[in-house]
Amino acid sequence: MPTMTEADLKQPEFYINRELSLLQFNRRVLEQASDETVPLLERLRFLCILSSNLDEFFETRVASLKEWTNLNSTTTRVSADNAGPDNLAPQEALRQISIEVRALITEQYHMLNDVLTPALAGQNVRFVRRSHWNAKQKRWVKHFFENELLPVLSPLGLDPAHPFPKVLNKILHFIISLTGKDAFGRSNGVAVLQAPRALPRLIKMPAECATGMHDFVFLSSIIHAHINDLFPGMHVTGCYQFRITRNSELFVDKEEIDDLLQAVEGELLTRRHGEAVRIEVADNCPPEMVAYLLKQFDLEPGDLYQVHGPVNLARLITIPDIVDRPDLKYPPFIPGVPTRLKRSTNIFRTLRQGDILLHHPFESFTPVIDFVRQAATDPNVLAIKQTLYRTGRDSGLVDALLVAARAGKEVTVVIELLARFDEENNINMATLLQEAGAHVVYGVVGYKTHAKMILVVRREKEGFRNYVHLGTGNYHARTARQYTDVGLLTGNETIGEDVHKLFLQLTSLGRFTALHKLLQAPFTLHKTLIEKIECEIGHALRDRPAHIMAKMNALVEPTIIRALYRASQAGVKIDLIIRGVCCLRPGIPNISENISVRSVVGRFLEHSRVYYFHNNGDTQVFCASADWMDRNFFRRVEVAFPIEGKMLRKRLIQETLSIYLQDDAQTWILHSDGHYRRTAAAGHAPYSTQIALLQKLADG
- Whether residue 671 lies in the annotated active site: no
Q: Is residue 90 a contact partner of residue 77, using CB atoms and an 8 Å limit?
A: yes
CA distance 695 to 152: 50
- How many other CB atoms are there within 10 angstroms of residue 301's CB atom? 9
What's at 346, amino acid-wise? N
- Nearest CA to 23 out of 425, 409, 538, 581 is that of 581
Q: Is residue 227 a contact partner of residue 236, using CB atoms and an 8 Å limit?
A: yes
CA distance 51 to 514: 44
- φ, ψ at 520 (rounded to 5°): -130, 135
Could you report how far apart the first and last alpha carbons of the chain are, in Å?
53
What's at 95, amino acid-wise? R
Q: For residue 258, what are the CA distances in angstroms to 438, 454, 558?
A: 21, 28, 35
How far does Cα 697 stand from its chain's mean position? Answer: 25
What's at 527, amino acid-wise? K
- φ, ψ at 310 (rounded to 5°): -60, 135
Q: CA gyration radius for the chain?
A: 27
- Classify residue 61 by its DSSP letter: I
Query: Which member of 450, 476, 526, 614 is catalytic?
Result: 450
Opening angle at CA 167, ends 163 and 173, nearest 5: 105
What's at 476, amino acid-wise? H
CA distance 643 to 656: 13
- How many other CB atoms are there within 10 angstroms of residue 699's CB atom? 12
Q: Is residue 46 a contact partner of residue 32, using CB atoms and an 8 Å limit?
A: yes
Catalytic residues: 450
